[in-house]
Structure 1
Amino acid sequence: MDVFARMESEVRGYCRGWPTVFTTARGSHMTDENGRTYLDFFAGAGTLNYGHNHPQLKRRLMDYLAGDAVVHGLDMYTAAKRDFLERFNDYVLAPRGLDYKVQFPGPAGNHSVEAALKLARKYTGRETVVSFTNAFHGMTLGALAVTGNSMKRIGAGVPLGHGVAMPYDNYLDGRTPDFLLFETMLEDSGSGLDKPAAVIVETVQGEGGINVATAEWLRGLQDLCRRHDILLIVDDVQMGCGRTGPFFSFEDAGIVPDIVCLSKSLSGYGLPFAITLLRRELDVWEPGEHNGTFRGFNPAFVTAVAALEDFWTGAGLEKQTLAKGQQIETALDQIALAHAGAVDSVRGRGMAWGLVMSDADLAPKVCAEAFNRGLLMETSGPESEVVKLLPPLTTTEADLGRGLEIIAESVEAVRTAVSV
């Protein structure tokens, strides 16, 4: 592996925790060049909700490429784009009573966020965007300005302006009413808070530590935004596409955001793909005012359509995800009970879960131990104190059970080593 250390930038991250060379992947498993297979509870940071190389999606992609169909199309009209727009409306928007226009801002989640922020400012004529403690919205400058993690913010190298952070749900452990600070500052002309163009929020903060907002809090946030004429943006890049059960993570709360950011598992296959959904009256863009060379990656349209047709024509996937989520929660609760001194709490929703360790040093050790036992996981949270689980939604109950056993074994091994 010398070539990676010699040639690749020091910025590389995940590979440091998983020091092996992967060659193949299928479903919930990855195999390295030594023939060892690992169970994947990382899923491309939530990009592979349907697993690696799903055979039906792969077949559609290979057939499309074999026919010399359009691969790169910018924002030209193509048959693949038409199919995606029609299916996305038929299977996702219309059944939920949502009437959004679709913008293709670029291939990654941060492109969707940047488009949302830029549009909100253009539409309202205001500059400030409110985000929340422990938020993560991307690594480009606009997205970093509404991200909470200090290490990531410092990496920008320039001042990050026009963003204000407010307390996320239960950030103050219930010591103050929801939105007391936010609303007080909005109503006080001397607070120093300019009227925001928008609020951007994750219903479950993945990188922030699997912090779950309650439905009541989200409804309260929507109500605040509407009363003060502030646009509500939901960043569903990691928690959308079924990760929490429903297609959109905000559905259970009964809210309707003004703008929605989607990416990661949208293509269904790990291909770069992002969209920004916006209420029709917000579509005030001039032609070409916001664009990008790779905003229309046609192979991603093809696999996205296949994923919609295979997984979202009924409620089967949602029910399975919620059932598997219960399986994960039960197992993690048992681990937390058995290791009360090492585990602070369990939190999550759907198939996004976190085991919060009492000492931040323990979480990376648990993930390293899990890797040695054949399981891929990452940490999250401001101090990397959370063992984070994002298995593919298609993971079998048996594989899920085996992975949870490995986590229990890893926590036990780390706790024993620390106490020696």
Structure 2
Amino acid sequence: MTTTAPVPTVFDTVESEVRSYCRAWPVVFDRAEGSRLYDENGRSYLDFFAGAGSLNYGHNNPVLKQALLDYIARDGITHALDMSTTAKRAFLETFHSTVLAPRALPYKVMFPGPTGTNAVEAALKLARKAKGREAVVSFTNAFHGMSLGSLAVTGNAFKRAGAGIPLVHSTPMPFDNYLGGRIPDFLWFERLLEDSGSGLNDPAAVIVETVQGEGGVNVARAEWLRALADLCRRRDMLLIVDDVQMGCGRTGDFFSFEEAGITPDIVTVSKSISGYGLPMSLCLFKPELDIWEPGEHNGTFRGNNPAFVTATAALQTYWRDGVLRERTRVQGNRIERALVDLCADHERDGASYRGRGMVWGIEFTRKERAAEVCHRAFEHGLLVETSGPESEVVKLLPPLTVSADELDEGLDILARSVRETG
């Protein structure tokens, strides 16, 4: 019997080997709506990946789409660097009145470039400039982006190795529960700060995710975050919260740090801030930190006006009241109940779950099983990805707008996929 090798596609022959998601989901997608994608053959896939958190309001959200179409149809400005435009003004006014003012947050808004790592680079640069120090403290299993400054405060060894040079001026500390609760919170950190022989230079800042998405859905307790904020205040360190993936409502509140009742000095926001999957990021900081010289940090695409348009529409649609926040709480509880049952059914496999709001993870004793579950889920029409340093966690990141029926459908596929990989 002879077999014919598949004909290489243009993706195989022209596109770089660096591509990744298309290897896990080897179909050609053609269109998307709400919580579903469709391949070129018309097959539907329920999306519990949501553009790695960039599509909190679903694919081609009709309200956001109409705002964008209207803007384009009237020849609205597309590219303007940091020039003033009507689209930027509308976004700033809406962001201030809808998000900042109701939370009594004093932040100035900076547009550092279109991606999350742009925002992180700006935050690190600003912290060092403000404090006149080089060192930054990060946490185990952190992920902050793929550019050099962001990689220096990222924990994943595989991603760090891609830098090709030493990544310096940062020191990792244990994230919440990294040591299984055996050591009091921040005991090691405080000891290093107090000891002039520790080798830790006085840090300019600490950067943290309240929930480590790429790191394995590791959830920091509110009390741990409050203790960290207090430590930063006492030791004259700026607190940077990276809310790139967990902001814009992913954990319920608009900002993931709200539950802890803290006000970080600097906050990075990206992914779902545009609401439509358009590139956009923000670096937010307290007014006294606004010490930039004009043009000191810039970028050609730091003024994505179509993203301003959809971001404004998203804020006006979903954040003028508490409806989405309550919906996220209810849907999150629905996911948790399903995972309680799933893990009870697979207790002998060491199944465990963790999460908050609408981000959840499942881990098994056999680490390879996470990838097997994701593969089987794809075969059944559900998109979920792995996370964690060894890709050992199945991560659930459905759109916040997913319907109850779609959520149940996805959770049923997930349970079936776990059973079939046992």
TM-score range, shorter-chain basis? over 0.9
Q: Structure 1 stretches of 5 or more lacking a match?
A: 416-420
- Supply the AA of the counterpart residue of 1:13: S
Q: Deviations over 1:71-95 (max 9, x none)?
A: 0000000000000000000000000
**Residue 366 (structure 1) aligned with residue 366 (structure 2):** no
Q: Structure 2 stretches of 5 or more lacking a match?
A: 1-7
Moved more, 280-289 or 332-341: 332-341
Q: 1:356: how far off? A: 1.0
CA RMSD of aligned residues (A): 0.6
Secondary structure at 2:421's aligned position in 1? helix
Q: 1:358: how far off? A: 1.2
Secondary structure at 1:80's aligned position in 2? helix
- Supply the AA of the counterpart residue of 1:251: E
CA contact (8 A) 1:343 1:355 kept: no
Please give the residue correspondences for 1:140-155 in structure 2 after superposition, counting only pairs within 5 Å.
140-155=147-162
What's the counterpart of residue 385 of structure 1? 392
What's the counterpart of residue 262 of structure 2? 255
Match of residue 22, structure 1, among 21, 29, 34: 29
Query: What CA distance in whole angstroms lies between the structure 1 residues aligned with 2:54 and 2:364?
Result: 25
What's the counterpart of residue 205 of structure 2? 198
Secondary structure at 1:246's aligned position in 2? coil
What's the counterpart of residue 418 of structure 1? none
What's the counterpart of residue 132 of structure 2? 125
What's the counterpart of residue 50 of structure 2? 43
Query: What CA distance in whole angstroms lies between the structure 2 residues aligned with 1:63 and 1:402?
Result: 35
Query: What CA distance in whole angstroms lies between the structure 2 residues aligned with 1:341 and 1:197?
Result: 46
Query: What CA distance in whole angstroms lies between the structure 2 residues aligned with 1:270 and 1:331?
Result: 29
Query: What CA distance in whole angstroms lies between the structure 2 residues aligned with 1:408 and 1:14?
Result: 22
Q: 1:360: how far off? A: 1.2
What's the counterpart of residue 314 of structure 2? 307
Secondary structure at 2:87's aligned position in 1? helix
Match of residue 212, structure 1, among 216, 219, 224: 219
Q: 1:359: how far off? A: 1.1
CA contact (8 A) 1:341 1:358 kept: no
Query: What CA distance in whole angstroms lies between the structure 1 residues aligned with 2:370 and 2:137?
Result: 30
Secondary structure at 1:341's aligned position in 2? helix
**Residue 69 (structure 1) aligned with residue 76 (structure 2):** yes
What's the counterpart of residue 345 of structure 1? 352
Please give the residue correspondences for 1:133-212 in structure 2 after superposition, counting only pairs within 5 Å.
133-212=140-219
Query: What CA distance in whole angstroms lies between the structure 1 residues aligned with 2:213 and 2:324?
Result: 21
Secondary structure at 1:261's aligned position in 2? strand
Query: What CA distance in whole angstroms lies between the structure 2 residues aligned with 1:226 and 1:399?
Result: 44
**Residue 323 (structure 1) aligned with residue 330 (structure 2):** yes
Secondary structure at 1:233's aligned position in 2? strand
Q: 1:2: how far off? A: 1.0
Query: What CA distance in whole angstroms lies between the structure 1 residues aligned with 2:368 and 2:384?
Result: 15
Query: What CA distance in whole angstroms lies between the structure 1 residues aligned with 2:115 and 2:257?
Result: 21
CA contact (8 A) 1:261 1:277 kept: yes
**Scaled by the length of structure 2, what TM-score is found?**
0.98
Secondary structure at 2:196's aligned position in 1? coil
Moved over 3 A (4+): none
Q: 1:153: how far off? A: 0.3
Q: Percent identity?
A: 66
Q: 1:345: how far off? A: 1.2
Please give the residue correspondences for 1:82-97 in structure 2 after superposition, counting only pairs within 5 Å.
82-97=89-104
**Residue 394 (structure 1) aligned with residue 409 (structure 2):** no
**Residue 116 (structure 1) aligned with residue 123 (structure 2):** yes
Query: What CA distance in whole angstroms lies between the structure 1 residues aligned with 2:215 and 2:347?
Result: 22
**Scaled by the length of structure 1, what TM-score is found?**
0.98
Q: 1:192: how far off? A: 0.3
